[in-house]
Amino acid sequence: MRLPIRRKPTPLWLRTGLHAVGALCATLAVTLHFGRETPLNASLTTNMHTSSLAVLVLLCIVAHKVFGDWDDKRGRRIARAFGLLFGAAEVLGNTLHVTNALNGLFATGALFFKTLVAFAGFAYLGTVLAAAAMRGLDKLGNASAAPVPSAAGSADDLPQKPKKLPRLRAFVQSDRGFFLVVWGILILSRLPYFLAFYPGVTSYDSDWQLKQTLGIMPYSDHHPIFHTLLIGAVTGFGEIVGLRMNTSVALFSVLQILVTTAVFAYALTRMRAWGCGKGLRVVSLLFMALFPIHAIYSVTMWKDVPFGTSILLLSVVLIDVAREKRAFFVDTKTNAPRMDHFILLTLSLLAVALLRNNGRYVAALTIFILFIALRPVRWPMFAVGVSCLVLFAVIMLSIFGFVHFQSGSRAEMLSVPMQQFARIAKEYPESLSAQQVDFLRNLNAGDLDHDGETYADLPNNELPTIQEIGERYNPTISDPVKWFLNDDYFEKNLGRFLLNWVVLCLQHPGTALTAFLNNNYGYWTVIQGEWGYWSCFSTIYGNDYGLAQESKFPAFQEYVGTHYDLINYNKTPGISLLYSQGVGFWILLLCAALLLWKKRGFALGALVPLFVLWLTCLASPVHGEYRYFYGIVCALPAVIGFTIEQIKRKEFVIAD
């Protein structure tokens, strides 16, 4: 029998040296000019400050503390894998952000060296952050002696000292009282924004939906028809009782505030029941109450706002499923089905499916994946999925029966291939065959000015040239390209579309991949430097149906207006991270890595809808739009709390 070979421990001086090199690379990585022929010494001279040196020293100390006596091989492997992914994403994303191309990564010896330094630095930084999170939470779990909540997961079930509390205090400490207090705080936090931007905030999308409800435009499923009808129900009620348009929109804003803040309050109530610490709950409450995006969104007539909070609700309910397993669906004492839980999960899935068109894919894939992966609750999840499907079909068929609406353009869902076609047409027009040229010209002969007029309406039925198609290409947003999609041609030539897409991508794989990544890098990169895409609106979109902003709190409106660029395009160091979709994604991935590290495979099921939503963002029209990502932002406090709670607990499996 062969004895295992014992490796000698790495000498302290060598470990210290390696950490110093890694920390130096990480510090250099955030100072480099990505993808440009800027000498390394110029980057250092321009960007290295005392703060950078402080970060260097701090990294060395943290790394030494983290890795010094850590013998967790599984944790080390997962931390390194996380770091490698982070390093690759940062190098690719920041290069695309600066140059809109990837061919500069290895073009010269200097760029090759800078790419290696940046990759090593970001990979080291990601590894240290993941390892530090693991060690910190491990120590927190070992030091924690708090009682574990029962399978029912209610804060009311925790052991209580047998002493009488004042009635008001006892009510506040109950689940219902806690929910009402938090709900009230969140409503009050929205009040200044509601008064300042009375009756609400609208954009082009909102105007489009409002015009449908007023009969100015025909109904369309370009925006989720269910959300459009919700707007119509409120404005229609206002018209029946004789309210002004402003008052009807204000009523919609009030209802949206009440519903969205109620979901946030419910999430905090459940976090309390899971045993999340007071510190985390206070930080989460401050984030929900004071983060300006939450407040402005609450008075903005966008489908993304109720959809984002429905994603939060679904995540919270799935966390309860992950914690309780079969006990979530069946009372273990009486063996009776818990219909309230069953209904709550079904309705949360249904809300996700109805409130945004990509929500259908999120809901369907979530149920499918959980049915495959979570064996202990497979059949209850199947029943939930069937119930959701039936309700969705009944609602949509009812809408079909009472409302005549047009099918929206397929351009939104074809952002990726349309961007790839345009980039190939721009960079390699001479390589296209006559058949490919004919296909691209006809495919891109749709709406001329986003007003219904097409190329077919022009004299002699003119078609755009390949050069014109290439000139429309914008690497970070597909609108200039997708607006010209010829829907009729696409629907009649679907097979030809798919064939040309595959052939062109195989002929120009680098260009196709770059076009894809360039159109979504904001969702997986922590951007360095200026981040230029807007996050919110603060006005009423121009209209001719009597809707206008009438501020009831002009001083606060002026204050927000003065700092609007700070809120909308935040570039403040530290705070700007809250506006980065990339930061949200890496926090989500880190939570998944931590659960994987502790072998909480069942718990990973609660994160499935968030990762599916992130995947749909990759196919969106913009390289990084906050409102598309908003559901993940809403759910992060609950996901972080759940992850910490799972790592702290000694026993994960709850007895059936």
Asked if 469 and 419 count as a contact pair (C-beta separation under 8 A), the reply is: no
Exposure of 562 by Cβ count < 10 A (0-12 exposed, 13-18 middle, 19+ buried)? exposed
Q: How many CB atoms lie within 10 A of CB 14?
A: 10
pLDDT in tens, 65-91: 666 667 788 998 999 999 999 999 999
Q: What is the pLDDT of residue 51?
A: 52
CA distance 120 to 224: 44
- Tokens for 592, please give them: 């998944």
In the chain, the amino acid numbered 15 is R
pTM for the full model?
Answer: 0.89
Tell me what pLDDT residue 166 has. 77
Torsion angle, alpha carbons of 319, 324, 329, 334, to 10: -160
Confidence of residue 655 (pLDDT cuts 50, 70, 90): very low
What sign results for the dihedral spanned by CA atoms 565, 568, 574, 580?
negative
Closest CA to 595 of 71, 133, 106: 133
Average pLDDT over residues 621-631: 92
Number of Cβ atoms within 10 Å of the Cβ of 171 = 14
Q: Calculate mean pLDDT across residues 201-207.
A: 93
Is the omega angle on the peptide bond into residue 380 within 30 degrees of 0, that is, cis? no
Torsion angle (degrees, nearest 10) of CA 64, 85, 523, 392: -120
In 10 A of CB 113, how many CB atoms?
A: 12
User: Read out DSSP for 174-232?
Assistant: SHHHHHHHHHHHHHHHHHHHHHHTTT-B--HHHHHHHHHHTTSS-EESSS-HHHHHHHH
pLDDT at 489 over 80: yes
Q: Nearest Cα to 194, choosing from 245, 287, 257?
A: 257
| Pairwise pLDDT comparison (407 vs 460), residue with the higher score | 407
In terms of C-beta density within 10 A (0-12 exposed, 13-18 middle, 19 or more buried), how is residue 487 classed? middle
Taking alpha carbons only, the member of 268, 305, 269, 354 closest to residue 193 is 305
Percent of the chain with pLDDT over 70: 82
Q: Which residue has the tokens 């979504």?
A: 520
- Region of poorest pLDDT, from 115-119, 365-369, 445-449, 475-479: 445-449
CB atoms within 10 A of CB 492: 12
Name the CA radius of gyration of the chain, rounded.
Answer: 27
Neighbours of 157 (CB within 10 A): 13
Mean pLDDT of 524-547: 80
Least Cα distance to 43 among 461, 368, 465, 528 occurs for 528
Q: In whole angstroms, what is the distance from residue 149 CA to residue 140 CA?
A: 17
Q: Which residues make Cβ contacts (< 8 Å) with residue 471, sequence separation at least 6?
A: 426
475 within 8 A of 519, measured Cβ to Cβ: yes
Q: How far apart are the first and last CA of the chain?
A: 43
Torsion of CA 79, 523, 577, 57, to 10 degrees: 30
Q: How much helix, strand and coil, in percent to the nearest 5, is found in the chain?
A: 70, 0, 30
pLDDT at 232: 94
Dihedral angle computed from the Cα positions of residues 208, 303, 355 and 516, in that order, rounded to the nearest 10 degrees: 90
In contact, 270 and 638? CB cutoff 8 Å: yes
- C-alpha span between 557 and 546 (Å, rounded): 21
95: number of Cβ within 10 Å: 25
d(CA 82, CA 653): 26
The rounded distance, in Å, linking the Cα atoms of 451 and 464 is: 17
The region of weakest confidence among 25-29, 290-294, 316-320 is 25-29
